[in-house]
Amino acid sequence: MAKCTDCDGTRVFGGGDGVCSECHGTGGTGNPLDALADAINILSDESTKCHKCNGSRKCTTCNGTGET
Ligand SMILES: [Zn+2]
Ligand SMILES: [Zn+2]
């Protein structure tokens, strides 16, 4: 097992934290307008999800474990 190099925390702290580096654990796109749209369309499946983790908030490389 090695520390995942694709986690959000890898770049900040030097160790895998299992957080998606694309959305930084938010599961969204990081766009405030998208977040607002999600709030309005709360019952819709058309919410704007992070394209990398698909809204799971986990690093897809290590599946949220922080290690590969
Ligand atoms: Zn990772
Ligand atoms: Zn993500």
Q: What is the pLDDT of residue 56?
A: 94
Tell me the residue range of the domain where 17 lies.
1-68
- Say whether pLDDT at 2 is over 70: yes
Q: Are 20 and 58 in contact (CB under 8 A)?
A: yes
Query: What are the φ/ψ torsions at residue 7 (nearest 5 degrees)?
Result: -70, 160
Terminal-to-terminal C-alpha distance of the chain = 5
Name which residue leads in pLDDT, 14 or 17.
Answer: 17
Q: Which of 32-36, 41-45, 51-55 has the lowest mean pLDDT?
A: 41-45
- 8 CA → ligand 2 middle, Å: 9
- 8 CA → ligand 1 middle, Å: 7
Count of domains observed in the chain: 1
Whole-prediction pTM value?
0.72
